Structure 1
Amino acid sequence: MNYGNRQWVIPALKSASIYALVGGLWILLSDKALDLLVTNHDTYTMLQTWKGWFYVLVTALLVFALLSKYLKQSFDQKESIRLSQERLAFALGAVRDGVWDWDLTTDEVYFSPGYTAMLGYEDNAGFTNINSWQDNMHPDDREHSLEVSKDCIEGRIGHFAMEFRMRTKDGGWCWILGRGKVVAHDHTGRALRMVGTHTNITHQKRVEHELRTLRNSMENIINSMPSVIIGTDRDMQITQWNRSAEMLTGAPAKLALGYRLTDILHLPEELTDSITQAVTHGEALELTQQNLLGDASRIANIFVFPLKNEGITGAVIRIDDVTEQVQMQQIIVQTEKMISLGGLAAGMAHELNNPLSGILQSVQNIQRRSAEDLPANQNAAQNVGLDLKAMHDYFRDRDINRFLDGIQSSGQRAAGIINNLLAFSRSSDSSLAPCSVPDLLDNAIALAESDYNLAKQYDFKAVHIHREYEPNLPAITVTAQEIEQVFLNLLKNSAMAMAGEPTPDKEPTITLRTSSDGPMVRIEIEDNGPGFPDGVSKRLFEPFFTTKPPGEGTGLGLSVSYFIITQNHQGQITAETAPGGGARFTILLPQAKPGPQGVAAQRE
C-alpha cells in the first residue's frame, strides 16, 4: 500500500530530456564547429577524441551530482520516516493506544502491536482483516459501530468517535474508544483507505459507573430525606433540588435547576434577605419557627450551611417543616393546662361537697323533725305547747314544704353535677373496659347540661335531645372517660353552633343515633344548626383549626377527639353536613369481645 511511490518518474524524465537535448545540441554544434575550423585530419581526430572524453566527464559529473542529491534526499526521507515511526511508537507506547489501517479495496487491516496488546494478545494473533474486529465486538454494540463506520466511508460524516466493547483473550470485555477517518479517495471520490486508533477506556468506564452509582445513591439519600434540601452557588443559582423541595413548591427539579432561588422559592422578603446575605458572605445561618412560604399555618426551621473550597462556592439550604412538632408542643402545653384545670375543678368539687352535704343533711333533718308521725317530734312539740297539725297547716299555706323540697332537689342535682365533674376530672388509668354506648351518651349529656355560659349565650338545657338508640346494642371496649370527653365536646360544639345562628322557626335539636355496623358500633351526633361551610369539613380535625371567632376556641377539641378515637381506640370519626342541613359526626368503635363483662355492659 505504498501510494505515491512513482512520483520520482516525472522529474527524472524531465532531467533526462534536458540532458538529451543539451547533449544532442553539444554534439551537433561541436561537429559543425570542427568541420568549419579544423582542416587537418589528425587534429580533427584528436579534437573529436577530447570532445568525447569531455562529454563523458561532464556526463559523469552530472550523474554524480544527480545521484548525490537523490541519495541524500532518499537518506533524509528514510531518516525522517524512521524518526517519525520511532516517535509514533514512543507516543503510542506512552498512551497505550492501538492503531489500525484499513485498505478498503482489499478489506485487509493493519493492527499495531498496541492494538492487540490491549486485548491481552502478545502478537497480532490472526488480526489481519476487518472480520477480526467485527467478530470480537460485543453483539449489542456491533450494529451501531458498523453503521457509524459506513457513514464515514460513504462521506456522511468526516470522522467518528464511538465507544464499544471488545472481547479480550481471557473472555472478558474491554471498553474501547474508537476514532477514525478516511484518508484516501480515488478520482471518483470513492474511499480507499481509513485509519484510526483504539483507546482502552475500561477503567474510565468503571470509574464513570462508580460515580454514577454514587451519585444515584446520594440523590436517593437526599430525595428520601423529609427535609427540603437545596444547593446553590454563590450567585444563588439552584444546583440541587430534592423531592421534598418539589413537593413544597410544586416545581420539578428540571425546572428549578439553573434558576435563582428567589425565582422558585417565594419566601417572605426578610427571610430571603437573610438567606442571600448568608450565602453571599459564606456564613452559617439558623432561623427557627419561621412562617413557611408566607403561610402562617406552616412553621419551619431554616438552616444555611456554606460550601467553601478555596473561597465561597455556594451553600446548602435545609428547610424542616416543624409544624406538627410545634403543634404537638402547644397541645402538650394545653393538655397540661387542662390537667391543672381538672385538678382545680376536682379540688373545688371536694370543697363544695362539704357545705352541700351539710345543706342536704339539714334539709333532710328539717323535714324529718317536722314530721307529724314521729313520736320524738310529738313529745318535743307537746313539751313546748306546739300543735304540729297547726304548724303543718302553716307550712302548707306558706309553701314551706315546697321550698324545702326545692332545696333538697336542687341540692341533689348540684351533688350529681359535682359527682360527674369529679368523675370527668379524675385521672384516668387508660384502662379499657366494656361500656354501654347509651350510658356514655347520657353521662355526657348530664355533663353538658351543667354547662351554661352567659358570655357565649347558650344554655344546653334549652336544646332538645332526640334519642334513637338501637335495642340490645353491643357494648364497646373503651376508656369511658375518654369517650365521654369526645361526646361532651361534640355536644357542646353543636349547642354553641345552634346558639350562634338561631332559627326562630326551628327548635334547637341534637339527634343521637346508635346502631350496629358489622364488627363496629356506629354513633351519630347530628344537629339542625348551620352545618359546615364549603371545604371546612376536611380540616376540622387539624390541630388549632377553628371556625369560632378569635378568643372563643383553641382549635384543639376536635383534634384531641380524633386522636382519642383513631389512636387510642382504633376507631373512625368523620364529619359531614347532614342532608337537611346541620352538622353530623359519625363515630365507629369496635364492639366488645363476647364475655360476661360485655354482656353486663350491654344490659346496663
Structure 2
Amino acid sequence: MPMNTPRIMAFTRPDSPFKVVLLYAIYSALWVVAGDGLLMLWTEEGHAGWLLDSAKGLVFVAVTTGLLYALIKRLDSRHVTVEAELQVSQQRLVLALEAANQGLYDLNVQTGEAVVNDTYAAMLGYDPKTFRETNAAWHDRLHPDDREKVFQVYSDYVAGRLDAYRVEFRQRTADGNWRWILSLGRLVERDGQGRPLRMLGTHTDINDLKNAEARSADSLAFATAVLDSSPMGVLVFRQDGRTVLANESAARIVGASLPSVLQVNFRQLESWRRHGLLALAEETLATGKETFHRGPVTTVYGKAIWLEARMVRFIHERTPHLLLIIRDESEKHDALDNLRLLETAVQAAPVGWLVTDPEGVIQWVNPGFTVLTGYRSEEVIGKNPRILKSGRHRPEFYAAMWGAIKRGEVWTGEVLNQRKDGSQYNERMTIAPVRGEDGALAHYVAIKQDITAEKQLGQQLARAQRLESIGMLASGIAHDLNNVLTPILLSIELLKIRYPDANARRYVETVENAAQRGAGIVRQVLTFARGMEGGERTEVQPRHLLKDLVRLIEETFPRNITIEYDTPRDVFPVVGDLTQLHQVLLNLAVNARDAMPAGGMLTIKARNHPVVAPVDPALAPLKPGEYVAITVTDTGTGIPPEVLDHIFEPFFTTKPRGKGTGLGLSTVYGIVRDHGGVIQVHTKENEGTTFEVILPAAVTEVRRDPVVASGPVLQGEGRKILVVDDEEPIRLITSRVLTGRGFCPVEAVDGQDGWREFQAQHGDFAAAIVDEMMPRMSGRDLARHIREVSSKVPVILVTGLMDSGSRPATEVDWKAFGVRIVLHKPYSEAELLKALAVVLGEPPSA
C-alpha cells in the first residue's frame, strides 16, 4: 500500500507527541511479528521458537516506546515554555519600538520581501493595513542622490565588509515629499553555506534633526560668508590681548597672513603703543565706551597705511572682549592728494576743460577754456554749451553726440564752434559721462583742443587735389624726377656687365628694382596729371599697394579718422596698371573720408578670394579660379537705397556743388571692369559702407617660377593628412600645397567637423594639421581627442599668437594635448613642408 506522505507529515507534526510514539510502536510491532513470520516460512523449526522470539520483540518495543514518549513529552514542554517567553519578549519589543516611534522591519534577504510594523508604514504616510514592503519598493522611494551610497553600505554589510549596517537616507513619502530616515540593521540568520537569509532592523525618523542641522549650518555659513566677504577688517581680542578671531580683510590690511594675525597679542605690540591704539583699547575695555582712530600708522609687519579704526567692547561667556573694525583709507587719502594735483594740472593745462550737470548746464571751466573761447568762468557757469554753436552743424550731428553720451558712451569728434568775439575755430572734443557712487549719471566732462591750424592744413591739402593746377605741378615734378632716374636706369646694364658674379648682381638688381619703382611713381604722377589713360600692366603685390596708400592717407586725412590696415603675407599678387589701381583705392578712401565728417573708422583689407563653381550670381562675370578681394570700409552715414542704384552712373553725385564731379565711382567701375574684376557695395544707413574690389590673382605667373631642390623632395605617396581650419583660404591653400606634394588632404571646417572626419576614417591619417583657435572645438581639444584614440597620428598645431616659425612642441601643456609641432602664422610653403617632414620622420623638402 503506497504511503500518503502529506497525511503522515500531518500526523507526525511536533504538537502531537502521542501520535509520534503510537505510530512508532505500531510500525515496530508489525515489523517484529511480520518479520519473524516471514522468516518461519523459510525455516523448518516448530512454532515454539517463533512465539518466544515474538515475545522478546514486543517487550523491547514496549520499553523503548515508553522511554521515547517521556523524552518527547519533556522536549515539547520546554518548546511551549520557550515559545511563550519569546512571544512575550516580542510583544515587549514591539511596544518599546512603537513608544520610541521606531519602524521595525524583518527582511528576507533572498526574496527581498519584508515584514514591517505599523510605525514603519505610518512614518512614510502609508496606511499600515495595505502597506507592503519589498526591496524594490524601498529602492524606488530612495532619493536619487542617496541611492549609490545606501546600496554601497548595504552591499558591504551583507558581504561582510562592514561590521554593522547604519545609514542615513531620504525616502519619498506617500504625499511626494522627502523624509530623512536612520536605518539600522543586523543579519540574524544564514544558511549552511553562510549566505545571509534574514535581516532585522529599525527605521528612525530624523527629519527634524536634519532640518535643524541644515539651518544651523546655513546660519554658520552665512555668518562666515559675511565675515569673509567684508571689505573691512574684523578682529576680536580677549581682555588679556590675545586674538581669538580675524578675517582675511584684516590680514590683508595689516600686511600679514591670517595665521600670523591670530597669534598676535595687542598688549605686546609696540606699534599699538606708538600710535595710541593701546590707550584707546584700554579705555574701551575699561569704560565700554566706543572709540575711534583715524590717521597714518605703520603696522607691526612694516606696512604703512592710512588707518580708520573703531573699537567696541562686548561680553562673551562672562569675559570682556574687544571688537576692532579697521579699514585701509590709503587709496582714498592718496586719491584726495591726486585730486588736488589733478586740479592744479587742469588749471594749468593748455586745453579747455568743461564740466556740466546731466542736463548740460555748465558748472565749472578751467582757464584753458577761457583762452580757447574768450568766455570767462563767471560768464558761462549756469549756461548751456550751445552758446558756442557756430551754426555749421546739422541738428543730426548734435543728436548723435547727445545720444552717445546719454547711453554712457565716450564721444570724440571734431566740432566747428564760435568764440565770444564771433570768430570760428575747429576743436577736437571728447565728452565722457561721470557717474556717482550710486551709479547714476552725475556730470559730463568735456576736453576741448584747438585744431584750427591743423584742420586748415588738411582742408588746404584736400582742396589742392581738386585744383586744376595740380596737373602742371605734377608734370614739372615728373620731369625733374625723370632727369634723375634716367642715368640710373641707363647705368644698370653697364653695372651688370661690369659685375657679373652673383653677389654683385644681387645688389645691382636691388638698385634696378628701386629705380623701376621710382619710375612707376613718376608714371603715376604723370597719369594723374594727364587723367586716366591706362599704362603698362605688371604684377602688383596688394600688400605694397595698400601700404603706400595707407601712408598717404595717414598724412592727409583728418585725425578723427582712425585707419586700420590688414593684408596677410600670403595674399596673391594681381596683374594690373599700378597707377589705375592706386587711383581706384584712393578714390574709394576719399569717398569714405567724406562719409565720416565727424570722424570714424576707415578699414582697408586684402585677402585671397577663391571663386568656385557654381559662381555666385553677384560674381557672374567671373570664372572659377583664384582672386584677390580688397575692401574699403567706413563707419559713416551709409548710402540710402534710392541712391545706391545710381552711384556708378557718370556725373551722378550727392555732394554739394563744387565738391564733386560725379565721375569718381564711374571711373572706379570702369577700371575694375577693364582689369577683369568686379566691384560690390554693402551698405547700411548710419552704420557705414563697404566697397569690395575683386580682381583676378596672378597665381599662374607665380607658379611658373622654377623651384630648385636643395635635398630630397618630400613625397606624400597618397598618405592622408587631416587639415582643420575655419579660415577657408588657409584651408584651401594648405590642401593645394599638400596635393601638389602627393598627399591626400581631408578638409574640415572646425574642430567638431575634424573629429567627425577622424572617426569616419577610423584614424587612418599620417598626420593632422590643426588650427588652434576655432569655433565649437579648439585645436587643442581636437589634438587631445586624437591622442586618446591614436597616439600614432602626429598633430601639427597652427597658431597666430606668437612669432612666425615652427618649433617642436616641448612645452608640457602642448605635449599633454598630443601636439608634436607648433607652426606659427603666417607660414610659407617651405615652413609647412619642413614641419610635416619632422613629424613624419623624413628629410625636409626643397
Fold-level match, TM-score > 0.5?
A: no
Q: Which has the larger radius of gyration?
A: 1
**TM-score, length-normalised on structure 2?**
0.30
Looking at both structures, which has the greater relative contact order when contacts are Cα pairs under 8 Å and sequence separation is at least 6? 1
More helix by share: 1
